[in-house]
Amino acid sequence: MDKFYSVDELAHECDVTPRTIRLYIEKKLLAPVRVGRSFVFTQKSVKRLQTILRDKCIGFSLHDIKKRLDAKSTDEFKSLIARVDGVISAAKTERKDLSKQLSKTCH
């Protein structure tokens, strides 16, 4: 049987604030089931939230994350792969620049 989470429980499980959960609901990144006046989330919601948080750490905007989560066609996935490749390339360049700065300040 699936475990169900309230907004507060999901926030605690994923180490975010309830306000963050509500924002992701508003942005249609999370789609809870409404039971009375409360939202209910499943384990699938936990995994989706973990994906959202990982993608945010990588540097994706909420708009890009939504596109990624909603992607269904090959072209959409290819576009997302190109976006990830761009982020990786930019991160490598930033790392190289930071290493140069570090070596200049330490010598």
Threshold 0.75, pTM exceeds: no
Looking at the DSSP bridge assignments, the partners of residue 40 are: 33
65 falls within a domain: no
Q: Please, are residues 24 and 49 in contact by the beta-carbon 8 Å criterion?
A: yes
Tens-digit pLDDT profile for residues 47-56: 999 999 999 9
Domain count, the chain: 2
Domain that holds residue 76: 71-107
Tell me how far apart the alpha carbons of residues 87 and 11 are, in angstroms, rounded to a whole number. 27
Rounded Cα–Cα distance for residues 34 and 51 (Å): 22
64 found inside a domain = no
Q: Report residue 71 as tokens.
A: 């992607």
- The answer to whether position 5 is within a domain reads yes
Tens of pLDDT, residue by residue over 26-82, are 999 999 998 888 889 999 999 999 999 999 998 889 998 998 888 877 887 788 788
Helices within the chain (DSSP H only): 7-14, 18-26, 43-58, 62-70, 74-106
Using one digit for the tens of pLDDT, what is the confidence trace for 84-103? Answer: 888 889 889 999 999 988 88
CA 34 from centre of chain: 23
HSE (side-chain half, CA atoms, 13 Å) at 60: 21
Average pLDDT over residues 14-25: 96
Residue 51 lies in a domain: yes
